[in-house]
Structures are given as structure tokens and as C-alpha cells.
A = this chain, B = another copy of it.
Amino acid sequence: MERPIGVFDSGLGGLTVLAALRRRLAGERFVYFGDTARVPYGSKSAATVQRYCRQDTAFLRRFEPKLIVVACNTATALGLEVVAEEAGTPVVGVIEPGARRAVAASGGKPIGIIATESTIASRSYYRAIRALEPRAEMWERACPLLVPMVEEGRTGEDPLVRAAVEEYLAPIRGRVGSLVLGCTHYPLLKSALAAYMGPEVALVDSAEEVAGEVAGVLERDGLAARDGDGGIQCYVTDNPERFRSVGERFLGQPLREVTLVEPEDFFVQEQAAGR
């Protein structure tokens, strides 16, 4: 059997990345891990997010993935190096691809970045964009309410979402050529963001760029599935029913196989093995 592509996130958000991967790489098999018992990562410290990333990666390694996608901006911002150490396979995060797209789409104008508290505090997008375009001007803003709003089922048409977007983005509107959606939940609020920012601002959702990068790495390393028939297996650390029902909105298709894993079982095993 083809080795799968491993994908992980703190919870549901990474399913927007998985959706893009599926569209681009129809023959590949995917194993998705969502750490729903400890979600969210976006308000937690670097040390804690790194510890979680190490454990999430160790879990995915059980499936002998050929590549691991860190489908979470906070985990990429704070933990990409830890994942790379632990993975033993190529690793693709969401920040580099998003930064590239933001620079290309900004038309030389300043770039706006919205994300969780921890991603903004890490300055990872700032640094990634600076490395590509040293003169880029940037406006950054943490938007802590947008994730819980999406999780509650609100869309871009919701009045509270519109009010929050207006408050968070007021200092950025009219100043930028592109806006990085630096959290995998935000694409679900695109209509509100686009309405407030106006049609001349490019909204940058990393998912498509990530899928392109994964396709490139698989080709380069001769790892692309030859005649696989795809498929998704999901593992979560809490509440598979909630993951299934809320997750369908993120993935854009029904989620069938969602399995609960007891986190301490495998964390303790990892610890006992001296990792």
C-alpha cells in the first residue's frame, strides 16, 4: 500500500488545508491528526506548543508517512523545527508558502497579517516575508475571537463576525495590497474579510500554496502516489462526534472515519521510550 501523507493541527482548522491537498493530489492517502483535547494552541506558550508538536509528530510516525504537513499556523510558527527533528520525513508548514504568495500578490504595497495571539507574537510571518522582500512594509494584528466564532458555526454573513472584523481590521484597511489569513480557520470567514477590505486587496489563504509545495516535494523525491485511490483517516484526542459534524464545513465533504485516541496512552509510551 502507498505510504500516506500525515497532516496535523490543534483541531479542526487544518481540514481547510486537507481540502486543498485533496483537490491537488487526488490519488494520495491522508492521515489527519487533530489534538482536540488540548485545542487551541494559539493562546499557549512556545514551550507548550513545541511539546505538543513533538507528540503529534510521534503519533503520525506510527503510520510511516512519506511527508508531514503542519496544517496549523501556530504549530508552524512555534514548532516547525521540532517537527522537522522528530519527523524523519520531509515536512511542509503553512507559513513559508503563505509568505511567498503574500509577497507575490501585494503588488509592491504593504502586507497585512492576521493570526492568533501566539502566531503574531512569534513574528514568523514578518520574518518569512522580510526574508523574501527585505523592504516589505507590514501591518500585523492578532484576532483572538475569530477562531471561536468559526467553531461556534458563524459565517462571514454573521453580524458579530462583521463587527469583529471591522474592529480588528480598521487600522489595516486602505493600507495594504494583500492580507495574509494566518490561521486555518479564517478562510471560512472570507466573505466578511473581503467585504470589509474591498476587492482590490488579495486575501492570501496558504492552503493552495501548501498543496502546490507538497506536490513539488513529492515529485522531486519520487514519492508521488502512482495509482492510489485516496482516502482519509482522521484521529482526534477528544470528541470525534463534534469533529465529524463541525469538520464537514471545513473539509467541504462528509467525514467518515474519525477515531478517538487516548492522548495519555501514547504520550506515556513516548516518554517511557525516553524521547
Contact = CB atoms under 8 A, between A and B. Distances in A.
Contact of A144 (B151, B167, B264, B268): B151
Interface string A121-149: 00000000000000000000000110011
A215 B202 CA distance: 60
A267 interface: yes
A273 interface: no
A160 interface: yes
Interface in A43-97: 43-45, 47-48, 51
Contacts of A47: 238
A172 B167 CA distance: 28
Copy number in the complex reads: 2
A38 interface: yes
Contacts of A164: 160
A70 B174 CA distance: 49
A48 B240 CA distance: 12
Given A145-B160, A268-B268, 7 more contacts: A37-B38, A48-B238, A159-B163, A160-B160, A160-B163, A160-B167, A163-B163
Interface of A: 36-39, 43-45, 47-48, 51, 144-145, 148-149, 151-152, 159-160, 163-164, 167, 237-239, 242, 264, 267-268, 271
